[in-house]
Amino acid sequence: MNGRREQESGRDPSQPLPPGEGWTFLSYMIGGMILYGFVGWLAARWTGWPVLFPVGMLLGLASGIALIIFRVTRS
């Protein structure tokens, strides 16, 4: 149990992710959805196209998942 600090340069794929990392993933997905969902909602109100709200939420979810992928696969 040396903690994560011993692996400064990249993550050893054989080691499990440190606890707390999972909560970061959750916060990326929630953050992405809230942020771009809000942007999409504003855009939907201004343009009168309600479809922009779900589009924004999907975009936010995709960004959150992209961030998770980059975080896990960083080398």
Give me 50's structure tokens.
């309600």
Give the rounded distance of the alpha carbon of 49 from its chain centre: 26
- Alpha carbon of residue 67 to chain centroid: 5
Rule CB under 8 A: is residue 17 a binding residue for other proteins?
Answer: no
Torsion, Cα 53 54 60 64, to 10 degrees, reads: 160
**Number of CB atoms found within 10 A of residue 60's CB:** 23
Contact status: 67 vs other proteins (CB under 8 A): yes
Q: Which is nearer to other proteins, 30 or 42 (CB)?
A: 30
Q: Is 20 in the site for other proteins (CB under 8 A)?
A: yes
Output the smallest distance, CB 26 to other proteins, in A. 7
Tell me which residues touch other proteins (CB under 8 A): 1-6, 8-9, 18-21, 23-24, 26-28, 30-32, 34-36, 59-60, 63-64, 66-67, 70-71, 73-75
